[in-house]
Amino acid sequence: MAPAASAASAATPQSPDQESPDREAAATEDAAPEGDAADSPAPERSARTAGEDLRERSKALLGSLSARSRGEGWERPEGELAKYRSRWRAAVRFVLQRGFFGAVVASNLTTSREVHRRVRTVRGPFVLVANHSSHIDAPMLARCLPWAQARFLSTGVAADYFFTVWYRRLFVRLLFNAFPIDRGGSRRHSGTSRKLLRSGVPILVFPEGTRQLDGVLADFKPGGAALAISVGVPVIPAAIIGAHEAMPKGRSWPKPGRPPVRVVFGEPMISEVGETAVEFSTRIHARVKDLYDEHRDVILGDAARGEEGSA
């Protein structure tokens, strides 16, 4: 079904419940001994205060993932973008993802999910990052993510295939709230993912770039991390265990016997002050790998241990 997207820029609204870092900094300065202020050069004090402000703002963001302002403080989508926050389309997606697709999944797979408690408190846009090894990855993620967070979740799909024929376009838009991504050097839809995030629409990203043939987690491209940093939104890491074994690349239907597949959503992450996209992407990769490794033996059982023994 579909890989996902890249690119970005904007800022994250701060929770009204959080105390202003400027007031905290001012209070700290008022409490400091006069001698300290006299001994420190003004530029040095200014740089130190700015660094403290950034750290406090970072902590405030992590502490306000559930703040009401995060769900409302974004641009109102207009024109073509308004479709991605359409309530009637979301209602149709609910029926397709959790009704029709749910019945198909239940008859062909043995599924389970685990959701970190903080995922359910996230309000507003975010970047959902996951490993990618099967066509069932995107629909499984959309189906297993709590509906409050999944309602407007958007997935990037190849524009030159899915958006050139009306029935394919309608299908991916209704089922995945899909947006077009360019392949082959075209930049016609460049910046769409950033615009969606700024309009309050969360997006799904597969940073490996393509489905893996062996099911082994590959390196992450930093695009998703860069997008989260520049727009100022959290990342929800997710691991899909068993999808490769159930329906590897090359198959159009799951293997018989209702093989097990589990989706695990980890604690939301934000970039640290001064952290580069590559560094943040490396941390996200490590978190997804930890989630995968933690559940691999439980889901795949003897088959997983057998693969390790033959490696």
Please, what are the domains in the chain?
21-63 (no CATH), 78-310 (3.40.1130.10)
What pLDDT, on a 0 to 100 scale, did the predictor assign at position 116? 97
Average pLDDT, the chain: 79
Which burial class, exposed, middle or buried, applies to 297 when counting CB atoms under 10 A from its CB (0-12, 13-18, 19+)? middle
CA distance 78 to 292: 39
Q: Which residue has the higher pLDDT, 127 or 162?
A: 127
235-256 per-position pLDDT tens digit: 999 999 999 999 988 888 999 9
Helix 223-231 and helix 277-300: axis angle, to 10°?
A: 120
For 43, phi then psi, to 5°, come to: -60, -35
Please compute the mean of the pLDDT values over residues 270-279 and round it to a whole number: 94
Task: Taking residues 204-228, report their average pLDDT.
Answer: 88
Residue 220 has pLDDT above 80, yes or no: yes
Q: Are 84 and 235 in contact (CB under 8 A)?
A: no
d(CA 149, CA 49): 36
3-state secondary structure the chain: CCCCCCCCCCCCCCCCCCCCHHHHHHHHHHHCCHHHHHHCCHHHHHHHHHHHHHHHHHHHHHHCCCCHHHHHCCCCCCHHHHHHHCHHHHHHHHHHHHHHHHHHHHHHCEEEEEECHHHHHCCCCCEEEECCCCCCHHHHHHHHCCHHHHCCCEEEEEHHHHCCCHHHHHHHHHHHCCEEECCCCCCCCCCHHHHHHHCCCCEEECCCCCCCCCCCCCCCCCHHHHHHHHHCCCEEEEEEECHHHHCCCCCCCCCCCCCEEEEEECCCECCCCCCCHHHHHHHHHHHHHHHHHHHHHHHHCHHHHHHHHHC
On the question of pLDDT at 76 being above 50, the answer is yes
pTM of the predicted model as reported, rounded to 2 decimal places? 0.75
- Which whole-number Å values give the CA distances from 17 to 3, 114, 292, in the listed order? 37, 29, 35
- pLDDT, residue 128, reads 97
Confidence of residue 187 (pLDDT cuts 50, 70, 90): low
pLDDT grade, residue 28 (50/70/90)? very low
